[in-house]
Chain A
């Protein structure tokens, strides 16, 4: 009897853990089936069409690229410096609250970040803007970057730091040139992952970047982004737009998977 229970439980646990294959396969299948017949160059070279008409996604692609880049430019250095401060400091009084707030920021719902930035940057300027959108994205990826970088700095070999000091470098030089520059290859996958995350975020952009049918001309204008455009098209009643949404999803997922694969390869070559 005990043996039977054992066998049953083990088999069912293994089966249960593979149930996750089903949604993934179904999702990828849908993407391929719905998007493949419509993939064309027009999709990435032209702007969206009139109401209900099909068109391209160029304005969304540009919007996403601009906002993600801008978010990364702010969040990556700030995140890495915060991580450095956390790994160098020995005072619990300083470390605990900072670490805790990083954890809690990671756990904050992204739509709340959207509301926050709405009051921070949209209300004062009286306009939805690409700037506000990228600020929201930056706040979302910043704690993720801190979290991954801290682990890397913690594992950084003490002997290398001491070697730097022994050569007459000042402490800050060791931190900047030895620790950060020396672990650039380890930091990169974490950064890439956070960029992938940022390019798929929709909720915080709803009332910051807002969306727009045109290519942006300035940072203080509302802009479209891939996930926003997909949401807009997918929930619209026009079949042409629904199809366009699938093509957009296909592009977005391919982009995200591409980044993920790059970061995988980087991690692997480092270990090998």
Chain B
């Protein structure tokens, strides 16, 4: 190999090292600047639930709870629809209609978070406040659940979860479509020729053997929902809520960061916020890591 080629190769590798460096840098900077809060409160920061910047008391739990609750609820709403959409695109719809459906998802994916938020503020919030909440709370069984207590203003984890469900669906559907594409046609035909119905074939050929991959797709969607900021910050109400009610105003890590970060003057408050960011990053990091591992292993088999 010639000298120029060697130089070129080396510099290419150097450029490519930027990605891992960025990732390490993210951890280092977040860790460094959240150090004061960890020194002061230790691991108790994660589990204590009083957040009052004026009184200098910082507990991350209400936000962690709000984040998990909102994101899981969003995933719960989105999953059945995404699964249905992925199956429809792959085998139930004629290819022309499937293309239309796919471009519909492309459009949904390209709408910015902030515009979803604005839409939800105007359209979803009144519906939740005036129709969905009275319905849920009036229901003799559901109304008793801790999830549906409290006064509803429309600004709630429930509203945020619905917007999030729409926002993460394109990603989940695309991943699931990719997974289903790998299923051999022969298997499908073999099953059908044994006299099973279409639905039984779908269950046994498409869903059961792919459960792992589908879980990976779902957890990538979940991690997207956990980190989503703007739309959530606009409709969740931004109140550090400790109850499990999804109809009351609540807040997530991302939403509290968006709301309080710009106005911080107290260094401990800042480090608490960065600490929250670190927690969020760690959660999404682990979810992504596991999901990518699963997808990668499957591709190699």
Contacts and interface: CB of A to CB of B under 8 A. Distances in A.
Q: Please give me the 10 A-B residue pairs with the lowest Cβ-Cβ distance, nearest first.
A: A109-B227, A200-B112, A172-B8, A107-B288, A6-B197, A17-B85, A85-B16, A203-B229, A16-B84, A13-B84
Interface string A1-38: 01101100110111011111101101100110010000
Interface string A88-111: 110000100110111111011111
Interface stretch (A51-59, A65-73, A250-258): A250-258
Contact of A170 (B2, B197, B261, B277): B2
A230 interface: yes
Given A108-B284, A203-B258, A171 B5 contact: yes
A82 B16 contact: yes
Contacts of A193: 110
Interface residues of B, number: 80
B229 A78 contact: no
Contact of A257 (B16, B25, B110, B197): B110
A249 interface: yes
A139 B22 contact: yes
Interface in A101-141: 101-105, 107-113, 115-116, 118-120, 139
Interface in A157-211: 170-172, 175, 193, 196-197, 199-203, 206-207, 210
B288 A104 contact: yes
B23 A101 contact: yes
Given A20-B169, A107-B220, A249-B115, A12 B84 contact: yes
User: What is the interface residue range for chain A against chain B?
Assistant: 35 or more
Nearest to B101: A17
Contacts of B80: 16
B12 to A, nearest CB: 4
A241 interface: no
A103 B20 CA distance: 10
B262 A105 contact: no
Contact of A260 (B84, B89, B106, B234): B106
Interface of A: 2-3, 5-6, 9-10, 12-14, 16-21, 23-24, 26-27, 30-31, 34, 78, 81-82, 84-86, 88-89, 94, 97-98, 100-105, 107-113, 115-116, 118-120, 139, 142-143, 146, 170-172, 175, 193, 196-197, 199-203, 206-207, 210, 227, 230-231, 234-235, 245-246, 249, 252-253, 256-257, 260
A12, A13, A24, A85: residue with the most chain B Cβ atoms closer than 10 Å: A13
A170 B4 contact: yes
Contact of A19 (B12, B81, B228, B261): B81
28 contacts: A3-B197, A5-B197, A5-B199, A13-B88, A14-B88, A16-B84, A20-B81, A27-B116, A85-B13, A100-B289, A101-B19, A102-B19, A104-B288, A108-B281, A109-B281, A110-B227, A118-B261, A170-B2, A170-B4, A172-B8, A202-B114, A206-B261, A206-B262, A227-B112, A230-B114, A231-B114, A231-B230, A234-B121
Nearest to B277: A115
